[in-house]
Structure 1
Amino acid sequence: MVYTVTFNPAIDYVVRMEKLKTGEVNRASYEEMFFGGKGINVSIVLNELGIKSKALGFTAGFTGEAIENGLMAMGIDADFVRLEKGNSRINVKIKTNEETEINGQGPHIDENALAALFGKLDKLKDGDTLILAGSIPNSLPSDIYEKILQRLSCRNIMTVVDATKDLLLNVLKYEPFLIKPNNHELGEMFGVKLTTIDEIEKYARKLQEKGAKNVLISMAGDGALLVDENGETHISGVCKGTVKNSVGAGDSMVAGFVAGSAEGDYEYALKLGTAAGGATAFSDGLATKEKITELLNTL
């Protein structure tokens, strides 16, 4: 079973307008709502690819109920810890000729709620996959990823961590199956500016030396690079299309890679991840199976 964790889920309210005028009433030409949060995004795209997952995390209030009900309507097992106070976030995404985002803060997560999440994680079994993605709410300890991986380290659980800087570096000793920084984040972790493929590969291998099994580096318009656990390097070009949406593309890449790596074929996993990321970037919402298949056939 695949499990995803989203500490701070949200309803993403997406509006399009010709121009955003501050200090005035603006009217949308298009609006839609999506259930968001990095782990949730991964679960949704995995579901499109025929991989069932259980979404864990925290929800609160009427917005939290909407998130849970919406995911279950999609066929995703929503097993969130319900918080007694507050409401899950509403994030506003305003799209004109550029994107403007207003992200909510989210509810407070207390020690009892965190203990309840740990109780759910304790039920994971050997052979399960756990995907941790996204930033940490202020009410949680900053080393929460490390605490989770340490708690699971005695079991044969495949872990995926999509995070940045120290949040990522501090968990490498637990040998995650997959990490996915982008090329800029990779450079920031080592205090260098990376300008060539060879440099990106060199520092990706440094992360591997620190414990990561597979290091997937997204490079925006230059495609993606993977250093796999067998020591092989794979490079995928970028999918061709018109970018409509930057939200969730990285999460979709993670989902595609996880789905594609089930048979141990990392070249195919990279291609499926690239296609899934592109399918989201070229859509108003997250990738669909049809769009992923279409792009996969071009790689």
Structure 2
Amino acid sequence: MIYTVTVNPSLDYVVDVDGFRTGTVNRTKNETVYPGGKGINVSIVLRNLGVENRALGFVAGFTGSEIEAMLSRMGVDSDFIRVGSGLSRINVKLRSDEESEINGQGPALSEADVGSLFDRLGALSDGDTLVLAGSIPASLPKSFYSDVMARLSGRGVRFVVDATGDLLKKSLEYKPFLVKPNNHELGEIFGVELSSRDDVVPYALKFREMGAQNVLVSMAGKGAVLAAADGNVYQGDAPACRLVNSVGAGDSMVAGFIAGYAKSSSYRDALVTGLCTGSASASKEWLATKSDVDAMISSYGGLSD
């Protein structure tokens, strides 16, 4: 079973406004509301690809109830912990002459709330996969993901970590199956600028030496590099597509990699599925469906030798 954790999920309110101006009334041209959060995106795409999974995390207030309801309508299984006070955050994404975002804070989490999540995670066992994705609220320590992994260490749980900075670095001690920094995040960790796939390769290999089994480095339109557990380095261009919305593309790549590897046990195939799933989502207003991904895979030229 695959589980995802989104510590601070959101309702994403996406609005299009022609010629947005401050200090006056602006009217929307289009508006949409989606459930948001990196782990939630992974869960939705996995569900779209026909892969069973369960979304975990914290919700609060009427916004939290709507997140749960929207996921239920999408057919995504969830088991969120309800926080007693506050509201799950609303993130406003404004698209006009420029794109702007206003992200909410979300509820403060108590020790009891965190304890309830640990109780749920206590049911995981050998063969399960746990996806820890996204940022965490200030009320939690920067070791939160590694704390989770420490509690489950030795149970045969496969960890996937999509995070930045200390959250990512501290997870390496527990040898996660997959980590997915982008090239900028990987460069920040090592204090270098990584602009090409050739630049990325040695640092992806270093990250493997530091503990990660597979290091998948996304590079937006430049494709991705995979330093794989089999000792090989795979890389490829992003499939050609018209960029519509990059939000969720990286999360879609993670979901595609997980789904591809589950189907074939091939790192090469997993990378192809990840690349095509990420691009399929980037070419849409929202997250890719199975037919979107299948079409992208059928037209993809393949990885670089």
TM surpasses 0.5: yes
Alignment-mate amino acid for residue 80 of structure 1: F
Runs (4+) of structure 1 moved beyond 4 Å?
A: none
Pairing 1:286–2:287 present: yes
1:220 Cα deviation from its structure 2 partner: 1.6
Looking at structure 1, the residues matched to 283 and 194 of structure 2 have their Cα atoms a distance apart, in angstroms, of 27
Cα distance, 1:195–1:249 mapped onto 2, change above 3 Å:
closer
CA distance in 1, matches of 2:98, 2:267: 35
**Unmatched tracts of structure 2, length 5 or more:** 301-305
Alignment correspondent of 2:5:
5
Corresponding residue for 1:150? 150
Residues 265-299 of structure 1 deviation map (CA, whole Å, 9 limit, x = unaligned) = 11111111111111111111111222111111122
User: Which deviations, in whole Å up to 9, do the C-alpha atoms of 1:82-105 show, x marking residues without a partner?
Assistant: 011111111111112432111111
Q: 1:261 — aligned with what? A: 261
The equivalent of 1:205 in structure 2 is 205
* Equivalent in the alignment of 1:162: 162
Q: What's the offset of the Cα at 1:187?
A: 1.0
SS in 2 for 1:90: strand
Q: Give the structure 1 partner of residue 245 of structure 2.
A: 245
Which deviates more, 248-257 or 277-286?
A: 277-286
Shift of 1:245: 1.0
- Separation in structure 1 between the aligned mates of residue 79 and residue 115 of structure 2, nearest angstrom: 14
Asked whether the equivalents of residues 253 and 275 of structure 2 are also in contact (C-alpha less than 8 Å), the reply is yes
| Contact 2:197–2:224 (CA under 8 A) maintained in structure 1 | no
Task: Give the equivalent residue in structure 2 for 1:40.
Answer: 40
- Which residue of the partner structure matches residue 183 of structure 1? 183
The equivalences for 1:1-299 within 5 A come to 1-262=1-262, 263-299=264-300
Deviating more after overlay: 194-203 vs 55-64: 194-203
Alignment: residue pair count = 299
- Aligned partner letter, 1:273: G
Q: What amino acid sits opposite 2:246 in the alignment?
A: S
CA distance in 1, matches of 2:270, 2:19: 40
**Could you give the per-residue CA deviations for residues 185-243 of structure 1, whole angstroms, max 9, x where no partner exists?**
11111111224433311010000001100100111221111111001111121122221
With structure 1 as the length reference, what TM-score do the two structures score? 0.98
Alpha-carbon distance between aligned partners in 1 of 2:66 and 2:59, rounded to the nearest angstrom: 10
Deviation at 1:174, TM superposition (A): 0.4
Q: Distance in 1 between matches of 2:98 and 2:266?
A: 38
Paired with 2:171 and 2:72, the residues of 1 have a C-alpha distance of 31
Aligned-pair identity (%): 53
TM-score, length-normalised on structure 2?
0.96
Deviation at 1:173, TM superposition (A): 1.2
**Unaligned runs of at least 5 residues, structure 1:** none
Work out the CA distance in 1 between the residues paired with 2:297 and 2:188.
31
